[in-house]
Amino acid sequence: MLEAQHITHQINRKTLLDDVSLVVRPGELVAVVGANGAGKSTLLKTISRELTPTKGEVVLDKKPLNRFSSLDLARRRAVLAQQNPLAFEFSVYELVMMGRYPHFEGHPHPEDLAIVDFALERTGIAHLARRAVPTLSGGEQQRVHLAKILAQLMGIEEINRPEASIRQTKYLLLDEPTTGLDFYYQHSLLEVASELTRRGYGVVAILHDLNLVMQYADNVLLLREGKALSFGKPASVLTAESIFNAFNLSVHIIHQPELDCPLIVHTRQTVPLTAQIN
């Protein structure tokens, strides 16, 4: 279980997060939503140990995050970042292989090669393996980085015995993973994430598309100006009222009978750019 407990984050007296808590159990996909500047990325960076909170603690399987070694942590959780700068022209294959770096010294083992092959196939980029990453489109690059974090977390036994669930829970932290992906790959990415949850992974994802949240998330945390408005099942957290509170936008919520899932649509009143929070 991955828990963020009462996280408060202040920089120069500005409070970015104020007493925010979040729980991810094995097998759950937890979405974090909120307006721009609500503190979503700060929360994810705290959970990934990139930032140290001013107050509060992140706990992974009852052990505080800062008691893990960098390597142990890298084997337990992977992060899909929003920005993926790359200084040199690495090939797709080499970049995905970087996901295996926490698992070998010196040269990769045969299972590392097999896992990289699997990750390339699974994300549909095997045909790009020899290409230099900077020559790819934004969406393709995003899939390369998805393949990298799949390679980072998956074990060879998960590929050989796909039905078995994993022994030790691993966590995926996704910062706006669908940005730059077309409609097909947005869903394809969240399908991958859902499949991993079925194997026992825990996933935290910052998402902007509330309908994707409705469809894929087990729980959702709604943030507004650094405070948690509510946490729970998407259908109960995302109401017309709470969405208006968080985003200052009027919506209708329609029930979609086929998927048995609420559908959020905007009510088409004019939206002045200045009126949005922040």
Tell me: does residue 11 bind another protein (CB under 8 A). Answer: no
Residue placing its CB nearer to another protein in the complex, 216 or 247: 216
Tell me: does residue 65 bind another protein (CB under 8 A). Answer: no
Residue placing its CB nearer to another protein in the complex, 110 or 257: 110
Partners of 57 in beta bridges: 5
Site string for another protein, 95-124 (x = CB under 8 A): x-xxx-xx----x-----xx-xxx-xxxxx
Residue placing its CB nearer to another protein in the complex, 32 or 238: 32
Shortest Cβ 144–another protein spacing (Å)? 11
Tell me: does residue 208 bind another protein (CB under 8 A). Answer: no
Q: What span, in angstroms and rounded, lies between the C-alpha atoms of 75 and 102? A: 6
Out of 127, 233, 252, 255, which residue is the one contacting another protein (CB under 8 A)?
Answer: 127
Residue placing its CB nearer to another protein in the complex, 75 or 227: 75
Tell me: does residue 61 bind another protein (CB under 8 A). Answer: no
Tell me: does residue 3 bind another protein (CB under 8 A). Answer: no
Q: Give me the residues that bind another protein (CB under 8 A), please.
A: 45, 48-50, 70-71, 73-75, 78-79, 81, 83-91, 93-95, 97-99, 101-102, 107, 113-114, 116-118, 120-124, 126-127, 129-130, 132, 134, 152, 158-160, 162-163, 184, 188, 192, 195-196, 199
